[in-house]
Amino acid sequence: MMKCGVFDSGIGGLSVASELLKAGLFEEIIYFGDTARVPYGNKNESTIIRYSLEVLEFLKNFDIDFLVVACNSASSVAIEDLRKEAGFPVVGVIEAGVKALNAQKESKILLTGTKRTILSGKYQYMLKNAGFNNIIPIATPLFVPLVEEGILEGKIVDEVFELYFGAIDKNDIDYVILGCTHYPFLEKSFQKHFPNAKLIHSGQAIVELLKNEYCLKEKYDTKIKLFASDNPEELRSKAKGWLKL
């Protein structure tokens, strides 16, 4: 049985699970949200690594064949440690996001994410390694609570966009990397403010990476199991809406 573990610090990774469900690459997805310790974004590197390895131990109990790290903070600091311990392929949203850019190398890329993701420099490092040099990294931490409150468009969102992006020429951006699993829910607002940009969505990027590099095929009617370290009922109720379970 082809099983994939999906791990996020909270419920945001459901945006990645949603794309995996639609794609049908696996027979079963085991989702774990570390909701007792969310968010990872403001924690130390060593703490994030320790938490990530604990989640891996939990997911190993399900005999998973792949691990998708849907959490950008964990992707940026814990992916190497997870690979050493896993014994199966581990893919993270950051490398997937970078690989999804089939852009001209001179494209102007706006990179958004939590403070920890942006400050870690991991995304910027991987983008530069892939030949991209025209990168504007901006930490946009208020987007997470806005999404969690269900405020996805309107005046407040527009003001927050102005706060973060007021100083840049929005028409001139070719790609916007939605570098946090919560951000795809703000897709409409992003597209309105960046009319000429292609949005890079972690979930879609992960699906493309799994198809291209691991030759996985869209052939299953994927089931999903949901686990959380706290408030599993909230995770399930969000999943009901977002994943149409």
Least Å distance, CB 145 to a second copy, is 4
Least Å distance, CB 242 to a second copy, is 17
Q: Which is nearer to a second copy, 148 or 187 (CB)?
A: 148
Which is it for the CA torsion 112, 117, 123, 35, positive or negative? Answer: negative
Answer yes or no: are the C-beta atoms of 154 and 161 closer than 8 Å: no
Least Å distance, CB 235 to a second copy, is 12
Tokens coding 13:
């990774």
How far is residue 206 CA from its own chain's centroid? 9
Q: If 0-12 CB within 10 Å is exposed, 13-18 middle and 19+ buried, where does residue 155 land?
A: exposed
Tokens coding 69:
């790290």
- How many C-beta neighbours within 10 Å does residue 236 have? 15
Residues marked active site are found at: 71, 180
| Strand boundaries in the chain, DSSP class E | 3-8, 28-33, 66-69, 90-92, 109-113, 135-139, 175-178, 198-201, 223-228
The rounded distance, in Å, linking the Cα atoms of 93 and 82 is 14
Residues in contact with a second copy by the rule CB under 8 A: 35-38, 42-44, 47, 141-142, 144-146, 148-149, 151, 155-156, 159-160, 163, 230-231
The rounded distance, in Å, linking the Cα atoms of 142 and 13 is 17
Least Å distance, CB 230 to a second copy, is 5
The rounded distance, in Å, linking the Cα atoms of 102 and 130 is 10
The rounded distance, in Å, linking the Cα atoms of 56 and 69 is 10
Q: Which is nearer to a second copy, 18 or 231 (CB)?
A: 231
Query: Facing residues of 7 across strands?
Result: 32, 69
